[in-house]
Chains A and B, each alone.
Chain A
């Protein structure tokens, strides 16, 4: 019998090693490492204070880590040290190759301009200069996230929470990013609205071959969306692996506690 072979040798999209985030003396997360491949969804679950948001903020280059490295594979194939890049290149990545879906859609939208402008902004930021085409793309994306196309000129402040969240997703996906970060994407939404949003995310990830890192405290969301799961507690990763394996055969005491605490409908 041959030794354990790689099933394919596609290189990973993101390689994280020894990542530590600290706020002065307070540690956000410590020594986190993982790899992420194209088309994969990684779920990060944990309760409040677990360090999952610190981790997400470091991964999305919002804050600089105290230790460790994040390497991202650029479109030309080279592996770049994220914090070795210039700020200009990092911001460019955030506008084109990456998406960030915030827990509160108000943090990820421009509330004072129309839905169409929100979706079109990233296109304009990378040089799109044809109004008709920009509007066409915006209409297209509103359709994909199931927002009534008539609302294209309405401001997001007039949208429901679920619509705002879907608009945020459209705004991020319009430049065909390869990696999307989501922070509690269904937080605060009604259950039926959550279902619709999850269905949308699931479909988009599959259709577009996106990689995604989704932070959530909701294990059901993790089960539905993530291929792999990392369980965090007190700033550390206590368990990680295949999503259904971690949830159905949890090894770590904390994971077992989490899983057994979910109320059944």
Chain B
């Protein structure tokens, strides 16, 4: 069975031109193939490039060298050579991403933030709002907050909205960056439940889970970031 996500020799560094041109190598050589239904937890200390790797897999950071093959329907796309339009299409239907922090847009209500990826896929406003409401309820976001813009919410509330948005649409590949960081026990359990469900449906997950308990529960294997550096 061909992998859903096949990373080969991915390297990435940052060159800071306005700071004397210093180059920071972050990823040296990532080799990782992920199958449908797998959950790979990126493992390593701060600064080993876990978030960088996730962002690169989402197209938010540019691929330095190497290949990132993504299965998009019946075809394979190398993310590093994809055009911006293709990356947008991949994000719409194939790759989902739950970042650590919610990108807050003024005036847009929580419900609409969660509904947006569904609307992008053609769902009606009513259907999108219904599913958004269900997800927010499951994550214990009180209804009185649904029609407010999240700028003034707590970190945990914002994170749960972010998570709801990430799970609103069925993505074959889901990238999770510290999904339970600001959450208490009950909410952690809800998130674990969501992860279990999508894994059962065949979603491939690449995630960063600092919480050992969560990692134990969901990860099918670990990927040690130091492997990437050592290979360099």
Assuming the contacts A5-B77, A244-B60, asked whether A195 and B17 have C-beta atoms less than 8 A apart, the reply is no
Number of residue pairs A-B, CB distance < 8 angstroms = 68
Which A residues from 226 to 260 make CB contacts under 8 A with B? 227-228, 241-242, 244-245, 248-249, 251-253, 256-257, 260
Q: Which of A5, A251, A257 contacts B75 (CB 8 A)?
A: A5
Find B107's partner among A2, A7, A196, A227 (CB 8 Å cutoff).
A196
A245 touches B106 (CB 8 A): no
Q: A196-B107, A253-B17 are in contact. Are A7 and B84 (CB under 8 A)?
A: no
Provide the bound-state CA to CA distance between A37 and B85, in Å.
9
Nearest-CB distance from B65 to chain A (Å)? 14
- Say if the beta carbon of B229 comes within 8 Å of chain A: no
In whole angstroms, how far apart are the Cα atoms of A198 and B108 in the complex?
11
Chain B's closest residue to A196 (CB) is B107
Residues in B neighbouring A260, C-beta threshold 8 A: 18
Residue in B59, B85, B106, B108 whose CB lies within 8 Å of A7: B85
Contact B75 A248 (CB under 8 A): no
Q: Looking at B62, B85, B88, which has the most chain A CB atoms within 10 Å of its CB?
A: B85
Count of A residues near B, CB < 8 Å?
30
Asked if B106 contacts A199 (CB within 8 A), the reply is yes
How many angstroms from the CA of A241 to the CA of B83 in the assembled complex?
Answer: 8
Which residue of A has the minimal Cβ distance to B21? A253
Taking a contact as CB atoms under 8 Å apart, the answer to whether B88 and A224 are in contact is no
Cβ of A242 and Cβ of B106 under 8 Å apart? no
Q: Are B89 and A7 in contact (CB under 8 A)?
A: yes
Is A4 on the interface with B (CB-CB < 8 A)? Answer: yes
Residues of chain B with a CB closer than 8 A to A85's CB: none
Query: How far, in angstroms, from A2 to B75 measured CA to CA in the complex?
Result: 7
A88 interface hit (Cβ, 8 Å): no
Report the bound CA distance from A253 to B18 in whole Å.
6
Interface residues of B in 1-54 (CB under 8 A from A): 14-18
CB–CB A228/B84 < 8 A: yes
Which residues does B use to contact A, with CB under 8 Å? 14-18, 55, 59-62, 69, 72, 75-78, 81-82, 84-89, 105-108, 119
Interface residues in chain A, defined as those with a beta carbon under 8 Å from any beta carbon in chain B: 1-2, 4-8, 37, 40, 195-196, 198-199, 202, 206, 224, 227-228, 241-242, 244-245, 248-249, 251-253, 256-257, 260
